Amino acid sequence: MNDIRVAIIDYQMSNLYSVKNACDHNEIISFITSDRKEIMDADAVILPGVGAFAEAMNNLKKLDLISPIRDFITTGRPFMGTCLGMQLLLSESEEFQYARGLGLIKGKVTRFPKISSRGERIKVPHIGWNSIHGVMRRRGWDKSALRSVRESEYMYFVHSYYVVPENESDILTTTTYSGIEFCSSIARENIFATQFHPEKSSREGMKIYREWLSDIRDKKRRT
């Protein structure tokens, strides 16, 4: 019997049901919630997201979800952020206007430039399939939810901004778009986050959810 329960945080601007469908596909018992107690009682939490950074932070404040997110992460239980959900973990964003983030990962969120270093116009947003590459100095790929995914595998992206972590050790993978190398996933202690959408990344994305479920089970078994 699967007794793992995963909370998907609803802050009124997320791709909730595609994430829940990915959980269902991998036999993860998940539920959508904005309730602090339900979040804190979960075995793991997913913070998804699509939209503007400042609006997302305002919604998290309005729904009193900032402290539950921070408090949950301090428990050491697995936490996943996807797309905007990863960006919100950073300290700040320059999207439209300066906005503070959750500050769980030091760094900033910045926009793709309009012109590349080669003088070519960059098409923004970055939409479509692109490859992810492990950061060798980190050597964390085989210990992360990416361990069943091949190096240079393609994942699905939709974003105009990308994260710039202050500490390179937080970077799990990078991706290159129009000559710009950016951080495409993060791993730090119990936090795993991706700029790409695993739930929209076909079979390879489902592997990520499956391995993350394995991590949840291992964590619960040890506690």
Query: Domain with 33 in it: what CATH number?
Result: 3.40.50.880
Q: What does the alpha-carbon distance between residue 148 and residue 133 come to, in Å, rounded to a whole number?
A: 14
pLDDT of amino acid 132? 97
Q: Report how far residue 138's alpha carbon sits from residue 167's, in angstroms, rounded to the nearest whole number.
A: 11
CA–CA separation, 78 and 56 (whole Å): 22
Full-model pTM: 0.94
Per-residue model confidence as pLDDT tens for the chain (223 residues): 468 899 999 999 877 989 999 998 888 899 999 999 999 999 999 999 888 999 999 999 999 999 999 999 999 999 999 999 999 999 999 887 789 999 999 999 999 998 877 778 899 999 999 999 998 545 688 889 999 999 999 999 999 999 999 999 999 999 999 999 999 999 999 999 999 999 999 999 999 999 999 999 888 888 7
Is position 23 annotated as part of the catalytic site?
Answer: no
Cα separation, 67 vs 79, whole angstroms: 14
Query: Structurally, how many domains does the chain consist of?
Result: 1
**Is 83 among the residues known to form the active site?**
yes
Residue 1's pLDDT is 42
Which residue in the list 23, 95, 126, 199 is annotated as catalytic?
A: 199
CA distances from 134 to 81, 138, 156, 167, 185 (A): 18, 8, 16, 16, 9
Q: Is there a catalytic annotation at residue 151?
A: no
User: Which range of residues forms the domain containing residue 97?
Assistant: 5-222
Phi, psi of 162 (to 5 degrees): -140, 160
Annotated catalytic residue: which of 95, 126, 197, 211?
197
Instruction: Considering the candidates 83, 126, 183, 211, report the single residue annotated as catalytic.
Output: 83
